[in-house]
Amino acid sequence: MTAGSIAGRFGRPVRRFTHDLLRAEFVHDIASDAHDTLRRPPGLSAGVAALGTDLPELSTQVDWYTRDVPAAVVRGAPIPRRPRDRRGPSRSSRARGFLGDLRRS
């Protein structure tokens, strides 16, 4: 998932869709999608800020998305367990809602 899509850089529909994917736990890492140093420079700040503001229940997972999983991928190791936030619903209930929305469209 790109930080720009989480922050809304590609429009509201993309932003809503990325938030749905995050809530359903279909995302394992957040990347910059850098293309150059001017128009699309490297950076995760906007996406991480949006994650903390728009999806506070996932704020405890920022390091997992941006450090733990990418490090495991580079090492060729299994993806580490996702940190849990006791306030949020389980993945199965979020995924059911997300998938139900997909079926209606």
Quote the CA–CA distance of 29 and 69 in Å, as a whole number.
6
The tally of CA atoms less than 13 A away on the side-chain side of residue 82 is 18
In the predicted model, is pLDDT for residue 39 greater than 90?
Answer: no
pTM: 0.74
For residues 29 and 1, the answer to whether their CB atoms sit within 8 Å is yes
Return the closest-CA partner of residue 60 out of 72, 47, 50, 51: 51
Domain edges within the chain: 3-104
Quote the CA–CA distance of 9 and 72 in Å, as a whole number.
28
> How many residues can be counted in the chain?
105
Report whether CATH 3.90.79.10 matches the domain 3-104: no
Model confidence pLDDT, tens digit, residues 75-94: 999 999 999 865 555 444 44
Tokens of 56: 């506070």
What number is the average pLDDT over the span 39-63?
Answer: 89
Model confidence pLDDT, tens digit, residues 16-37: 999 999 999 999 999 988 888 8
